[in-house]
Amino acid sequence: MLDFTSSSEQQETETRHGQFALRDLLNGIFYYRRLALIVAGSIIGLGVLVALLLPPTYSAEARLLPLSAGIYDMQDAGRAPLPGQVLDPGAVANVELQMLDSLELHRDVVRAQLGPAASPAEINAALEKFQSHLHVTKANEANVIQLTYTARDPQQAADALRQLIRRYFESRATVLTSGRVAFLEQQRNAIKRQLDESSARITAYQQQNGIVDIAAQVAGAVAQDDLLRKSKLESDAELADGRRSLSSLSSQAKSVPADIRLYNDNTEAARALGEMQAQLLGLQAKRADLASRFMATSPQVTQLDKQIAALQATITQQKSSLVMTQRTGRNQYFDSTKDKLIQSRATVAGAEARGAELAGQLGQSRARLAQLNAISDRLTTMKLDRDVLADSFKSLSSQVEQARVQLNQTTEAGSPNVRVIEAPTPPTKRTNPPLLLIAGSIFAGILIAGAAVFIAGSLRETFLTPVEVERALGLPVLAAPVAEQGEGVARDYSRLIAAVDAHHQGSGRAVLLVAPSSRMSLQTAALGLGRAMARRAGARVLLVRFASDAPVPETAASLELEPFEDMMTTIIGTAACSLQRRDVRLLAELRDRFDYIVVTAPPMAVGYEGIELSQAVDVVVPVVEAEATRRPVARTLVTQLRDAGAVLIGAILLGRRWHIPQRLYRLLIERRA
């Protein structure tokens, strides 16, 4: 796109273009004001009619709060819940929401409303109506279920919701706790029978085995067994000691004579011998006493044996050297030894008898202890089974009570699972107020009217604003006079004249105006451009019209020039475009006589002379009519001119009108300017 303005002029042009954008947008909108008024008026009128004729409706509301308690509480009593036992409140709300939205629940409500005499067809029709008026939703940011029922009568709407909530609690009691109490009671009774049988078996087993207190009896048996073991060990020690004493006494008794010498006649010798004999007897008695307590090889016994042997040897020596009369008598030591031997044998026999008796008692004690241990193990197993049954009985008893409580609670509004936080009450305000319907129809009318205007503008193929021409043809609109504007023509064509001057600096500037179909648009554009050029410092302007019925002059001097206002006009036949390009020669001769030459050719719908003339002029300017020229036709014209090598500097938009009301135009456009 060529730019024929200076930097300051370009900034001013951009500012005007910004104003033109708003102005052109409003102009396009008001162009379809009839369509917009028809569409908006129809919708608003329909909305007003509906608001006046539509009967009033009222919506009763109720809110329920589902909780993770009661039936949904899976944790054990007195214990913290496990992660898997904590139900999501949203899942609980979804379950209750499905119950409230169930078809059977709604059918029960409808049956209650219609009575038992209603036919299936009436029930189905009333059910569809009931479901269409009922809305069950879950709040987005809270775990709350919202119930809404719409009816023409506010009391009827509230009653319908109350009946629905009542039926809902009865239905959920049937669904969630149906048969639960009977089932738990049956299980509890079965466990109770097993518990009684287990207790009877334990009692019979204890009576059969003579058990009163198994723990005390086992402890007594253990203590008795320990006592018998200790007594047996003591008896065995005494028996071993007695046997050693008996063996020692038996060996000593063999060497003790029954009779001993009492005295000799030799008094001194006898006295000496008597003393030695007495001493010997004392030693022998002492040895016998030590032999009963120590071993025969012990130092005490062996030392006494040496003393006794030495003393006997002395006595024997004295006896051989002395003659004396000896008197014998009963050896008391022998008798004493015999007595001790008898006592020792009696002691050993008693110890053996006691040991045998203790061994028998110990065997019986061990057998009884083993029996008691076996009985204790069996009783422990039986008691464990009984305790398990007892715990099961307690748990089932607690569950039966909880199920009964839940059965009573689920049929009421105070259920621990669902709480009514807002009971239904008769509404006082309509859900379809007339003002709201009228406001909605106004908004819808404006919205749909805007959409209709947008669609119509998208389907329109004609031009309304310069911006549309520039976008469609890719050429700047250098002149766009307003159809209603009777003055300011020079200003409207000033950009076009500046573009022509910038392109050709010499005299005799030739401008060709071409149009797709309308001849009048060419004449109008030529006259407007000529007037604007003539008013620029007295420029000489010639308007040349090529027509098929005009003659073809030989030279420019033979042309008939007629004055028109401040310009000159002439007509040349279109045959000049094909007779050795006489049009080029004629225009070249006219350049020396005029400053501007504005050439018009027949429209493209009539012939292609305009394409041929584009080679004989300096610049070519297509002319399109607002609200008349179609975009495809204008694009075809521009394409043909470009293919022919024409110099296109811009376009002219004729017949542009302002559809904006004057007050709105001054308010929005002129104030901003």
pLDDT in tens, 294-339: 777 888 778 888 888 888 888 887 776 655 556 677 767 777 777 7
Domain boundary among 406, 423, 458: 458
**Residue 518 binned pLDDT confidence (cut-offs 50, 70, 90):** confident
Position 486 scores a pLDDT of 46
Q: What digits encode the pLDDT tens for the residues 597-614?
A: 999 888 888 878 788 888
| Host domain of residue 572 | 462-670
Q: Is 595 within the bounds of a domain?
A: yes
- Give 25 or 525, the one with higher predicted confidence: 525
Identify whether residues 441 and 574 lie together within a single domain: no
Position 208 scores a pLDDT of 86
Position 322 scores a pLDDT of 56
Q: Is 517 within the bounds of a domain?
A: yes
Q: What is the mean pLDDT of residues 336-352?
A: 81
Identify whether residues 535 and 642 lie together within a single domain: yes
Q: Is 389 within the bounds of a domain?
A: no
Position 263 scores a pLDDT of 57
Percent of the chain with pLDDT over 90: 9
- Give 486 or 255, the one with higher predicted confidence: 255
Task: Count CB neighbours of 445 within 10 A.
Answer: 21
Q: What digits encode the pLDDT tens for the residues 456-483?
A: 888 888 888 888 899 889 999 999 887 6
Task: Count CB neighbours of 359 within 10 A.
Answer: 14
Identify whether residues 466 and 580 lie together within a single domain: yes
Q: What is the mean pLDDT of residues 344-349?
A: 83
Q: Average model confidence (pLDDT) for the chain?
A: 79
Integer Cα distance of 313 and 307 in angstroms? 10
Contact 328, 259 (CB under 8 A): yes
Domain with 479 in it: what CATH number?
Answer: 3.40.50.300
Closest to 597 (Cα-Cα) out of 651, 521, 670, 533: 533
Contact 114, 106 (CB under 8 A): no
**Tokens, residue 59:** 């919506």
Residue 365 pLDDT > 60, yes or no? yes
**Residue 401 backbone phi and psi in degrees, to 5:** -65, -40
Task: Count CB neighbours of 43 within 10 A.
Answer: 20
**Residue 383 binned pLDDT confidence (cut-offs 50, 70, 90):** confident
Identify whether residues 545 and 451 lie together within a single domain: no
Identify whether residues 440 and 511 lie together within a single domain: no
Contact 27, 658 (CB under 8 A): yes
Position 299 scores a pLDDT of 80
Position 267 scores a pLDDT of 62
CA distances to 141, 239, 445 from 231, rounded to whole Å, are 86, 12, 119
Identify the weakest region by mean pLDDT among 292-301, 381-390, 562-571.
292-301
- Give 199 or 84, the one with higher predicted confidence: 199
**Tokens, residue 370:** 């083993």
Identify whether residues 471 and 447 lie together within a single domain: no
Closest to 417 (Cα-Cα) out of 62, 137, 68: 68
Closest to 271 (Cα-Cα) out of 206, 341, 318, 225: 318
Closest to 513 (Cα-Cα) out of 592, 619, 391: 619
Closest to 624 (Cα-Cα) out of 513, 536, 488: 513
Domain boundary among 397, 424, 458: 458
Q: Is 642 within the bounds of a domain?
A: yes
Identify whether residues 441 and 526 lie together within a single domain: no
Q: Which helix (H) or strand (E) holds 51?
A: helix 33-53
Position 53 scores a pLDDT of 86
Q: Which of 9-13, 183-187, 573-577 has the highest mean pLDDT?
A: 183-187
Task: Give the N- to C-terminal CA distance of the chain in Å, as an integer.
Answer: 26
Q: What digits encode the pLDDT tens for the residues 416-430?
A: 577 888 888 898 888
Identify whether residues 642 and 591 lie together within a single domain: yes
- Give 547 or 645, the one with higher predicted confidence: 645
Q: Report pTM.
A: 0.48
**Residue 662 binned pLDDT confidence (cut-offs 50, 70, 90):** confident
Identify whether residues 494 and 613 lie together within a single domain: yes
Identify whether residues 453 and 471 lie together within a single domain: no
Integer Cα distance of 113 and 160 in angstroms? 9
Number of domains in the chain: 2
Identify whether residues 611 and 485 lie together within a single domain: yes
Q: Is 340 within the bounds of a domain?
A: no
Percent of the chain with pLDDT over 70: 82
Q: Is 196 within the bounds of a domain?
A: no
Contact 514, 637 (CB under 8 A): yes
**Residue 537 binned pLDDT confidence (cut-offs 50, 70, 90):** low
Position 262 scores a pLDDT of 63
Contact 421, 31 (CB under 8 A): no
Give the count of alpha carbons within 13 A of 169, CB side only: 22
Q: Is 534 within the bounds of a domain?
A: yes
Identify whether residues 639 and 651 lie together within a single domain: yes
**Residue 33 binned pLDDT confidence (cut-offs 50, 70, 90):** confident
CA distances to 367, 376, 379 from 220, rounded to whole Å, are 14, 13, 18
Integer Cα distance of 672 and 614 in angstroms? 41
Identify the weakest region by mean pLDDT among 74-78, 173-177, 319-323, 461-465.
74-78
Residue 123 pLDDT > 50, yes or no? yes
Q: Is 636 within the bounds of a domain?
A: yes
